[in-house]
Structure 1
Amino acid sequence: MDLSAIRSRIASSEGRLYWRSLGELSDSPQFREYLHREFPEQASEWNDPKGRREFLKLMSASLALAGVGACTRQPQEQIVPYVRQPEDIVPGRPLFYASSVIHAGYAQPVLVESHMGRPTKIEGNPDHPASLGAADSFMQGEILNLYDPDRARTVTNRGEVRTWGQFLTVAQQTLAAQKTQGGAGVRFLTGPITSPSLAEQMSSILAENPQARWHQFDATGTQGFTGAANSRPVYHFDKADIVVSLDADFISSGPGSVRYQRDFAARRRFIDDRKEMNRLYAIESTPTLTGAKADHRLTVKASEVESIARELAAAIGGGAAPAPGASVPRPGAPDVAKWVGAIAKDLQAHRGRSLIVAGEYQPAAVHAVARAMNEALGNAGVTVTYAADVEANPTDRHASVAELTAAMDAGQVQMLIILGGNPVFAAPADINFAEKMGKVGLIAYYSLYVDETAHLAHWNLPASHALESWGDARSFDGTVTLMQPLIAPMYEGRSAHEMLALFTAQADRRGAAIVKDYWSRAYTAGGQWTIKYPDGSTFPNAEAFWRRALHDGFIPGTAVTEGGPATPFGTAPAATPAAPAAPGATPAAAGAAAAPVATPAPAPQAPASHGGLELIFRPDPTIWDGSYANNGWLQELPKPLSKLTWDTSAWISPRLAEERGLHNGDVIEMKYRGRTAKMPVWVMAGHPHQSVTVFFGYGRKMAGRVGNAVEQAQAFNPYLLRTSDAPWFGDGLEISKTGERYLLATTQEHHMMEERVPIRVATLDEYTKDPAVIAHQAHAFPKTLTMYPDYVYDGYKWGMAIDLTSCTGCGACTIACVAENNIPVVGKEQVSKGREMHWIRVDHYFAGDLDHPESYHQPVPCMQCENAPCEVVCPVAATTHSAEGLNDMTYNRCVGTRYCSNNCPYKVRRFNFLLYADWYTTTLEPLRNPDVTVRSRGVMEKCTYCVQRINHARIDAKKEERQIRDGEIVTACQATCPAEAIVFGDLNDPNSRINKVKAQQRNYGVLEDLNTRPRTTYLAAIRNPNPELEPARPAGQTEHH
């Protein structure tokens, strides 16, 4: 691949050139042959003699659910459905329950669909302020984790099956022996905890053992928050006209990303009646989804962010002096001084309506400077609220686990209780956690899986899944969110509350009693909690309050921004003997490390340099820190920017690739501060030049059948380079080419629309001056010129519109579709052949040069064409036009000719080359949506507009003798979209939202010149650049693809 020739092609193009991959830009003979074939090589052939047997080895939770016993048992405690239903379950109709799942310690509010006692689908809780009904891919993937056959099933001691009672005996004996020393040899290691009732239990245990210590570790633990009073920012993007991101990926990372995405999109959403939108500046060290949505994006090294932040603060009067080297020019980078001046002027013009967001992986100094700027601009209390931390013991988690490791090495730890986190795999490499475990007398590991840490622990204790447990936790804004089980534990797992109860006087206490008792006391005694319902609801007793809280899934008035309490650690209301607490105890007094006190931003110092390249660490976009490695849905979800599946890679810039002679798939050796690791390379447009980004989470040895399916990938483990003193970035990296090649399965070049114009973009100024600028970007076929008579729709006429200005490319819609429509996982080998089965894909387009491109995302489901090319070529009428305008698939008619796929210009049809769905394992049934047919080998499938949901709404409307209401039908992709980019409805209803959206002048259909007349249309992407940083293009200049 000749990158210099690619640059020349971009430079010589008229207008902006849109492209999806470097291969497309190279226009090589190989790539032209690939396009001529239309489908990836081997996407239409099956040449593997090993066949289905080899394929099944790649599957786990999505296919082989053997061993899931009694999976429809109901919990013995009383749970409360989200909506009122008949007393008895109605066969064929689901129940919905409000609950929560935990991600990185924080509650993610969910609404769980349950069929006959079987949880089958997760969406966001529409009433909860942290989600407003949206959900990300991790939240939705938890339903697959629930049914994972590789979960830990029973208590074991050094590999031998034991019981909880046997462990309790050993634990109590060990704990009793430590009582004489105040529990000095006892250590607890957990992830971040936001559960008030769990914090109370921990407080009680540490009060009984004052010399015991509580440590925390989370591989994704941030370093920018101090844990001091009112130090945690809660952002209000819906109130900000100007947003400046200082290496912050608020769209796709962090506990508040779902709500932040919703608020940001709401302020950015452009409608013809209100021609205004926010503006986003992104200063970032690695490409992110936030940077992809930015109107202006400045690429810098991670270590340069602080100096630029200080320079910006000085320009707006934020009181921060520039750091040394702040104005040193960087080769190939835009003029930083010009950038700073333009941003400062924009911020000053929007005082009180702007927002500076510091990256969670940046150091505390950057956060202090960002806060100083927000306060100087009058943003504090308007677009950002600085509130108390909701974690029970906020601390530096990398320092905490390092302290624990030092204590183990010194022989000070006699009993270590680990609650999740898999520290053997994920702990910093420099502390040698696994080696030091050998010096501990008793190690008990409580986890959902038998993983790397379980292999070295003495006792393995199975955890119950969130959908099998009672519990509580707080969301990013502090709102208390409840967790109720939808199914009895499938194995011998216990909840975290029941696990900690083993170390109290009442070891057999159930999780339901622990959580209910805490909140009953909170309601009765009040104390630190002020429970206020917006509708003014009051309750005659604690039982009535508890039922209402379970129904809603959360407790109003508990958010820190609403005056809710700070960290509840050790300050539970009116503790009873059944659940002892230590009122008034502080974390330090209770045996936990005291939270640091907030200090001003340190004086800027020139950073010590180790030379070489800068190495940046980030959690993987789809498997996070490795905890989702055994989830086939998330493994196969294309990563938002690279579109890689089943693998990790080291991102480098095109310039660095040119200098080192590297190409996608080349394996490099990385030497970093005395440590070595190998990684395959991915050339990422827009990546800073002198840095390399790696995504940790891959490289696991004991992840399960799915996580270990790609054996070669186990050699690529970024954790081998990560240290406790520099967990997110550091310099001193040296890379060298090994000469090895590695196949990376990416969907970036799959299903390309050759020489078409699929995406349209305009600036706010261009569109305001001439709304027809969108229509002029492509040819449109006259709607009256057709050889076919128009269909007549006397009833409903369904249609969809997708707003490209709102869409962030997060991929949540893809996972929602997978879960809703029983879409199978096919594995890396099949993906590399172009055989992925996703019904809705999210295409990623670049525009501009290689070093500073713009990015755009476009979800592509079936277009449900009026003049559908697929319908006219099917020889057996397996695909037909319905009375409501849907392109229906009749699976039992399909004979697999694939003519329809060949004739579809949008490439949205998927073919079952193998029997991807296991029809013979009856224990697979709990996961599947019973309203959707499970397809067999040789059958074509595609997006159906969630016809099963349409049918449910039609039946309900018919029973009530009325029409289907606008908004009553919500497709799976629409329901989960955090940005609300998808609108669906009846085109025959003139007052429907879908008609109002399609009436906007930026509405267009992809490939309209083919006269397919798609029902799924798009609202063109609108950007809002600063004229000082991007001069207006000459009038009449058109877009080119």
Structure 2
Amino acid sequence: MESNKKYWKGLEELNKTPEFVELNKHEFAEPIPIEEVLSGTGLMGKTPRRNFLKTVGFGIGAVTLAACQKTPVHKSIPYLIKPEEVTPGVANYYVSSYDGQAILVKTREGRPIKIEGNPGDVLGQGGVSAQVQASVLDLYDTNRLKGPMQDGGDTAWSSLDSFVKAELAAIKASGKQIRLVTASINSPSTLGVIAAFAAQYPTAKHINYDAVSYTGIIQANQNSFGKAVVPHYRFDRADLIVGFGCDFLGSWLSSAEYTRQYASKRNEEAIESKKMSRHVHFESGMSLTGSNADVRIPVKISQQGLALVNLYNEISGTTLPGSKKLGNNVADNAITLVAKELLAAKGRALVVCGSNDVATQVLVNAINSLLGSYGTTIDLDNPSNKYKGNDADIIALVEEMKRGDVGAVMFLDANPVYDFYQSSAFADALKKVRLKVSFNQYNDETAAQCNIVAPNHNYLESWGDENVLEGYYTIIQPTINPVYDTRKAEQSLLIWSDNAVKDYYTFVRNTWNTSLLPKGGLAGQGGWETLLQNGFIKVADKPATPVAFNRDINGVAQTILSQGAKLAAGEGKLELQVYENNTIGNGKYANNPWLQELPEAISKVTWDNFVAISPKTAEDLKLEEGDLIKITANNYSTELPVLLQPGQAQGTISIAVGYGRTKAGKVGDMVGKNAYPFVSLTNGSFQGNAVASIEKLGGDKIILAQTQTHHSYEGRDVIRETTLQEYLKRGEDKESEKKETYDLWNDYDRPQYDWVMAIDLNACTGCGACVVACNAENNIPVVGRDEVRRRREMHWIRIDRYYSFDEKGKTVTEEKEINKLEDLDHVSVTYQPMLCQHCDHAPCETVCPVLATTHSSEGLNQMTYNRCVGTRYCANNCPYKVRRFNWFNYWNDSRFENYIQNDYTELVLNPDVTTRFRGVMEKCSMCVQRIQAGKLNAKLQKRPLVDGDIKVACQQTCPANAIIFGNKLDPNSQVSKALKSERTYYVLEELNVKPGIGYQTKVRNRLPTEA
């Protein structure tokens, strides 16, 4: 199963540029002058030098006080255990919910320090995304508002309440409109509060507004089936998945849930049972989902609609008016092949599209109807409630404000002054409103335009609930007293509407007692306590009902083709697509340093957005990587650096939204540029496509903070890949026997435990959740943009992304072929989590002069930090390049003020893990603190340790279940069984270092007619 492909991490490695060759001669290269780093020169200019960590402001005093107070007034019940009081040194776990997922919150001494997935969660089944993992850090952000504000100054809640009630009464008497603008809300209790508020103020209207809109899907389902919903997609029931510009593993709808479903059809069990799903993806920019596809076809943005029209023609056996070939032979042939496969997989097929265009989504509905997908892979009867936004409503609000019809507008988890497509027009219209209220936790771009700011609690301080999926209800409970003088937004609404219930906890209890607990067969105080232990109730799914597609498809196709023609770029123009990545997302997480430093999955860029462009298009335009260019579209211009992206469709560019914040906080302010103004209102919905012109600007090239090409394996065998067809033939073509090896040392005794790991490359999607989980668990510092540029990131686990040429299975081996820029359009991508391999013959151990790194009797490569003197011999001798050197005391060195924080270290740090000072080596410890805790817990319970008692942080958070950890000496352990798979191999096994992590070969399921 060894691959003879050429794998490479970046274009500099592929082309062996002089800079790359020179830098990789040195283990600790200095690519950027120290003066530039210390001066704070970044992508967009200079940053202040004072207190790199301190002034970012993640505070300690208020949180310590909140943690030391008694537990919240209404007792929260920990998961499984119920301690009467906080016990020093013992963690408590509380159930809660974030973004609709049931989670566990780990607290120590009254402080939340870690988020885990609830194993019973219907969506992730214990796996969560990087954004959920990082959410605990937001609690300690001193950029949060400390209390209520009026007209830009501090005020008391009583004064604010009196003022707002008087204003609302006057507005009610005048007959003017009241508008409540929120991110999509699915909480039964919150919706009940809003309904009660509207009953008191009849002119009030609730507007769901999503920065990244899904109106196209909702309205298309209304038009097609009379159901204005986002369906519940079931990727775990699909044998064939065809995507069109839809990043369902990255940022689309419910990524953790879809990752779990997707991986369940591509893991060891699916492969061995010959039930592995097939995935074909058409897109313009390389996405996380496209990179995981079995077959990925780059197509222009303007051609995606035409590709869907042609697919409909092939499946239906008809020809819609105006149809024509794409003129892209690879794409045209793929559509013909895919149509045959979809028809063969009727009832087990799924076509998804990321477009927010209503007509396009109607056509997708027509295709899925022909394939019998409704009731099998698409569920309209148990829909998702995650996104409810209606673009028409927010557009109407702007017009109402312009006319002076709106007397009051309130914002909850919504920031349209930043992320509305015409933000300046929104801000201008907002000035005509008498009462402007923000419930946002930060004085963000929208809150700064409001005369009243009533800051909301962080979710870890709150009571609440969520209903993200029909029939699935999760509870939110506080894990700490409010850190600042904030108040739950729902409680403010209750007070302002003179509701008989003014305490939101009581309102939540009433909602559950009267309508939700009975759904789960629970009642009374006992039922409430059971809920607080389990975290959720799940009602049986409604049975699927027949749906009939009832739209005239000819008119829909004409609309799609017309829009595609408008997007086709003329001479000197490019087709622009804006997208949401899975790190800082829509901008909500811009002030979270864990997410800012999490490398974007494909580009591996941190701390910035950029313009992704294909190498061939860049050559035609005489652009090089790092060139600063001016992009103009939709009457908006901004400047960003160029990144050459293999797999990007020629003639197109891609830019991530969520950057360019001006009032996010000291971490997120002025990081990157705002791409939301490139969005346009087309046919009633917001669409992130445009025709753009670009202009190359002068000056030095911009060095993006990338983590990918810091090291080179010099062409050695680290990735193994095969096709399902070849793998299933393995019995006919036995691999040659392994060569005999010789050891210089005796094997270590393993009396009871041998801790090892198995990583399935077929399940890993490269999402990066494990990286953030490791940061939180092991107290790993953030180092900031300039230190990343100097190759000094501290992550203990990294996700290596490898490109390989893919010409329908043909291996490109000749140098003249490799250098063809056209080949870079069709690359395959493979992800490989890389961490300390805990080698039995560890090369780092033999060269350490002070025995700072040694081997344990349980198979772990250990670090003794107070012995380490920083020789770095171990890092030089490590073939995997997984050891990190602490160049500075990143937690509180004054030179790094703008990227990390000082004060939060004592708040979110895991007290079970040593914090490292400067000048020592760090690396993965296999969460040895969890191993010790698991053994101790089993001892206290007077039982042997069993498989599954211990889960390392990366394993526990992985929504794909790609990582398995356990005791190799237990033949019945999951890891022992996984390592016996015929797909298992060890990276650089030929060096005979005997790594303790086995990888399972990547398997792609090609179309049967492909070579």
What is the TM-score of this pair, normalised by structure 1? Answer: 0.87
Distance in 2 (alpha carbons) for counterparts of 1:774 and 1:172: 79
Q: 2:430 aligns with which of 413, 431, 437?
A: 437
Deviation at 1:97? 1.2
Pair 1:135-2:128 in alignment? yes
Deviation at 1:90? 3.5
CA deviation vs aligned residue, 1:253-294 (integer Å, no higher than 9, x gap): 234221111111011113574344111011123211111111
Distance in 2 (alpha carbons) for counterparts of 1:370 and 1:774: 44
Pair 1:758-2:713 in alignment? no
Deviation at 1:49? 6.3
8 Å contact from structure 1 (residues 479, 560) kept in 2: no
Deviation at 1:463? 1.3
Q: 1:671 aligns with which of 624, 632, 642?
A: 632
* SS of equivalent to 1:990: coil
Deviation at 1:351? 1.8
Q: 2:907 aligns with which of 909, 920, 926?
A: 926
Deviation at 1:136? 0.2
- Higher RCO, Cα 8 Å, sep 6+: 2
Closer/same/farther in 2, CA of residues 523 and 999 from structure 1, 3 Å limit: closer
Distance in 2 (alpha carbons) for counterparts of 1:171 and 1:668: 47
* SS of equivalent to 2:361: helix
Q: 2:472 aligns with which of 467, 471, 479?
A: 479
Match of 1:580 in 2: none
Q: 1:695 aligns with which of 656, 666, 674?
A: 656
Deviation at 1:473? 1.3
Match of 1:149 in 2: 142
The aligned runs of 1:707-746 (5 Å cut-off) are 707-708=668-669, 711=670, 713=671, 716-725=673-682, 727-740=686-699, 741-746=701-706
CA deviation vs aligned residue, 1:350-400 (integer Å, no higher than 9, x gap): 2222222232x3422232222333232223212221236554993423x32
Letter of the aligned partner of 1:245 in structure 2?
G
Pair 1:90-2:83 in alignment? no
Distance in 2 (alpha carbons) for counterparts of 1:377 and 1:411: 50
Distance in 2 (alpha carbons) for counterparts of 1:296 and 1:448: 43
CA deviation vs aligned residue, 1:905-953 (integer Å, no higher than 9, x gap): 1010111111112499776322111111111111111101110110011
Letter of the aligned partner of 1:23 in structure 2?
E
Pair 1:315-2:274 in alignment? no
8 Å contact from structure 2 (residues 279, 294) kept in 1: yes
* SS of equivalent to 1:225: helix
* SS of equivalent to 1:518: helix
Q: 1:81 aligns with which of 60, 78, 81?
A: 78
Distance in 1 (alpha carbons) for counterparts of 2:289 and 2:179: 39
Q: 2:107 aligns with which of 84, 108, 114?
A: 114
Match of 2:810 in 1: none
Match of 2:978 in 1: 997
Distance in 2 (alpha carbons) for counterparts of 1:461 and 1:545: 33
Distance in 2 (alpha carbons) for counterparts of 1:791 and 1:556: 49
Closer/same/farther in 2, CA of residues 198 and 560 from structure 1, 3 Å limit: farther
Q: 2:12 aligns with which of 23, 28, 35?
A: 23
Deviation at 1:46? 9.4
Distance in 1 (alpha carbons) for counterparts of 2:334 and 2:253: 30
Distance in 1 (alpha carbons) for counterparts of 2:720 and 2:387: 48
Distance in 2 (alpha carbons) for counterparts of 1:911 and 1:358: 44
Pair 1:347-2:302 in alignment? no
Distance in 1 (alpha carbons) for counterparts of 2:389 and 2:845: 60
Pair 1:949-2:909 in alignment? no
Letter of the aligned partner of 2:198 in structure 1?
L
Distance in 1 (alpha carbons) for counterparts of 2:325 and 2:359: 18
Deviation at 1:84? 2.4
8 Å contact from structure 2 (residues 182, 411) kept in 1: yes
8 Å contact from structure 1 (residues 101, 110) kept in 2: yes
Closer/same/farther in 2, CA of residues 86 and 491 from structure 1, 3 Å limit: closer
Closer/same/farther in 2, CA of residues 915 and 336 from structure 1, 3 Å limit: closer
Letter of the aligned partner of 2:289 in structure 1?
T
Distance in 1 (alpha carbons) for counterparts of 2:310 and 2:130: 37
Match of 2:495 in 1: 502
Closer/same/farther in 2, CA of residues 630 and 172 from structure 1, 3 Å limit: same
Deviation at 1:548? 1.6
Letter of the aligned partner of 1:234 in structure 2?
H
8 Å contact from structure 1 (residues 652, 693) kept in 2: yes
Distance in 2 (alpha carbons) for counterparts of 1:78 and 1:600: 57
Q: 1:603 aligns with which of 547, 556, 562?
A: 556
Query: How many residues are aligned here?
Result: 955
Q: 1:187 aligns with which of 179, 186, 192?
A: 179
Letter of the aligned partner of 2:724 in structure 1?
L
Closer/same/farther in 2, CA of residues 426 and 50 from structure 1, 3 Å limit: closer
Distance in 2 (alpha carbons) for counterparts of 1:694 and 1:560: 40
Letter of the aligned partner of 2:649 in structure 1?
P
Deviation at 1:56? 3.7
The aligned runs of 1:813-852 (5 Å cut-off) are 813-848=770-805, 849-852=823-826
Letter of the aligned partner of 1:205 in structure 2?
F
Q: 2:505 aligns with which of 488, 491, 512?
A: 512
Match of 1:549 in 2: 531
8 Å contact from structure 1 (residues 58, 705) kept in 2: no
Structure 2 gaps, min length 5: 41-46, 806-822, 894-900
Deviation at 1:413? 1.6
Structure 1 gaps, min length 5: 1-13, 533-537, 564-596, 1032-1041
Match of 2:921 in 1: 940
Q: 2:884 aligns with which of 910, 919, 929?
A: 910
* SS of equivalent to 1:33: helix
Letter of the aligned partner of 2:539 in structure 1?
G
Pair 1:616-2:615 in alignment? no
* SS of equivalent to 1:316: helix
8 Å contact from structure 1 (residues 108, 139) kept in 2: no
Match of 2:462 in 1: 469
8 Å contact from structure 2 (residues 589, 595) kept in 1: yes
Pair 1:365-2:359 in alignment? yes
8 Å contact from structure 1 (residues 68, 923) kept in 2: no
Name the Cα RMSD after superposition.
2.7
8 Å contact from structure 1 (residues 390, 478) kept in 2: no
Match of 2:730 in 1: 770
Closer/same/farther in 2, CA of residues 49 and 278 from structure 1, 3 Å limit: closer
Deviation at 1:59? 6.1
Distance in 2 (alpha carbons) for counterparts of 1:466 and 1:197: 14
The aligned runs of 1:189-338 (5 Å cut-off) are 189-226=181-218, 228=222, 229-230=226-227, 231-271=229-269, 273-317=272-316, 322=320, 324-329=322-327, 333-338=328-333
Match of 1:963 in 2: 944
Deviation at 1:433? 0.9
Letter of the aligned partner of 1:225 in structure 2?
I
8 Å contact from structure 2 (residues 253, 386) kept in 1: no
Letter of the aligned partner of 2:202 in structure 1?
P
* SS of equivalent to 1:220: coil
Closer/same/farther in 2, CA of residues 772 and 719 from structure 1, 3 Å limit: farther
Letter of the aligned partner of 1:895 in structure 2?
V
Match of 1:594 in 2: none
Pair 1:856-2:830 in alignment? yes
* SS of equivalent to 1:167: helix
8 Å contact from structure 2 (residues 57, 903) kept in 1: no
CA deviation vs aligned residue, 1:73-107 (integer Å, no higher than 9, x gap): 321112121112343443322111111123xxxx1
* SS of equivalent to 1:906: coil
Distance in 1 (alpha carbons) for counterparts of 2:321 and 2:658: 34
Deviation at 1:667? 1.3
Distance in 1 (alpha carbons) for counterparts of 2:981 and 2:241: 26
CA deviation vs aligned residue, 1:283-325 (integer Å, no higher than 9, x gap): 12321111111111111123322222222122222x8854635
Deviation at 1:515? 0.8
* SS of equivalent to 1:604: helix
Stretch of structure 1 that moved more, 848-857 or 82-91: 82-91
Match of 1:578 in 2: none
